[in-house]
Amino acid sequence: MHKKVAIIGGGIAGLWSAWELARQGIDSTVVERSAFLGGHVAGFACKATDRCRRCGACLLEDVLQNVTKSDRISSLLRAEVFKIEKTNGGFDLTVSQKPQRIFPEKCTDCGDCEANCPVPGALVRSPLTNQLSVDEEVCLFYKDGSCRACLEACTAGAVKLDGAVQDIQLNPSAVILATGFKPFDPTNKPRFGYGRIPGVVAAPELDSMLRRDNWPGDRRMRSIAFIQCVGSRDAKIGRNYCSRVCCGYAMRLARLLKYRFPEVEPSMFYMDIQTYDRDFDRRLAEAAREVRLVRAIPSEVRLGPDGSPEVIYHGPEDHRLSESFDMVVLSVGISPHAADLFGALAGLSYNRDGFLGADGEGVTTGQEGVFVAGTTQGPRSISETVSHAISAAAAVSSYLGNSR
Ligand SMILES: Cc1cc2nc3c(=O)[nH]c(=O)nc-3n(C[C@H](O)[C@H](O)[C@H](O)COP(=O)(O)OP(=O)(O)OC[C@H]3O[C@@H](n4cnc5c(N)ncnc54)[C@H](O)[C@@H]3O)c2cc1C
Ligand code: SF4
Ligand code: SF4
Ligand code: SF4
Look at residue 3 in the predicted model and tell me its pLDDT.
86
Averaged pLDDT for residues 233-255? 87
Q: Is the dihedral of CA 199, 201, 207, 212 positive or negative?
A: negative
Q: Which residue has the higher pLDDT, 276 or 161?
A: 161
Mean pLDDT across the chain:
91
Look at residue 404 in the predicted model and tell me its pLDDT.
47
Closest ligand 4 atom, residue 139 Cα: 4
- Which ranges of 79-222 would DSSP assign to H, the alpha helix? 112-116, 140-144, 149-153, 203-211
Look at residue 284 in the predicted model and tell me its pLDDT.
75
Q: Over the stretch 82-102, which tens digit does the pLDDT of each residue have?
A: 888 889 889 999 999 999 999
Closest ligand by atom to 151 CA: 4
Q: How far is the CA of 113 from the centre of ligand 4 (A)?
A: 8
Ligand 1 pocket, mutate which of 181, 244, 329 (most atoms under 8 A from CB) = 181
- Give the confidence band of 350 by pLDDT, cuts at 50, 70, 90: confident
Q: Is the CB of 291 under 6 A from ligand 4?
A: no
Ligand 4 pocket, mutate which of 140, 161, 162 (most atoms under 8 A from CB) = 140
Q: Is the CB of 342 under 6 A from ligand 1?
A: no
Q: Is the CB of 335 under 6 A from ligand 1?
A: no
pLDDT of 386 > 60? The answer is: yes
Give the helix, strand, coil percentages of the chain, each rounded to 5. Answer: 30, 25, 45
Q: Which residue has the higher pLDDT, 18 or 297?
A: 18
Look at residue 340 in the predicted model and tell me its pLDDT.
57
Averaged pLDDT for residues 372-383? 95
Look at residue 89 in the predicted model and tell me its pLDDT.
84
* Atom 1 of ligand 4: nearest residue by CA position: 148
Q: Is the CB of 151 under 6 A from ligand 3?
A: no
Per-residue CA distances from 400 to 290, 331, 348, 395 (Å): 51, 41, 20, 9
Q: Is the CB of 230 under 6 A from ligand 4?
A: no
Look at residue 218 in the predicted model and tell me its pLDDT.
60
Closest ligand 4 atom, residue 151 Cα: 6
* Atom 7 of ligand 4: nearest residue by CA position: 117
Look at residue 225 in the predicted model and tell me its pLDDT.
97
Q: Over the stretch 115-159, which tens digit does the pLDDT of each residue have?
A: 999 999 999 999 888 999 999 999 999 999 999 999 999 999 999
Q: Over the stretch 288-309, which tens digit does the pLDDT of each residue have?
A: 889 999 998 899 999 999 999 9
- Give the confidence band of 281 by pLDDT, cuts at 50, 70, 90: confident
User: Comparing 53-67, 327-341, 380-394, which segment has the lowest mean pLDDT?
Assistant: 327-341
Look at residue 217 in the predicted model and tell me its pLDDT.
63
Q: How far is the CA of 153 from the centre of ligand 4 (A)?
A: 10
Closest C-alpha among 101, 114, 110, 11 to residue 63: 11
Averaged pLDDT for residues 6-30? 97
Look at residue 345 in the predicted model and tell me its pLDDT.
66
Q: How far is the CA of 56 from the centre of ligand 2 (A)?
A: 6
Type and span of the H or E element at 336: strand 334-336
- DSSP letters along 57-101, please? THHHHHHHHHHHH-TTEEEESSEEEEEEEE-SSSEEEEEEEPPPS
b/e string for 1-25 if b means 16 or more Cβ within 10 A? Answer: eebbbbbbbbbbbbbbbbbbbbeee
User: Comparing 161-165, 203-207, 237-241, which segment has the lowest mean pLDDT?
Assistant: 237-241
Closest C-alpha among 66, 96, 97, 84 to residue 174: 84
Q: How far apart are CA 302 and CA 198, in angstroms?
A: 10
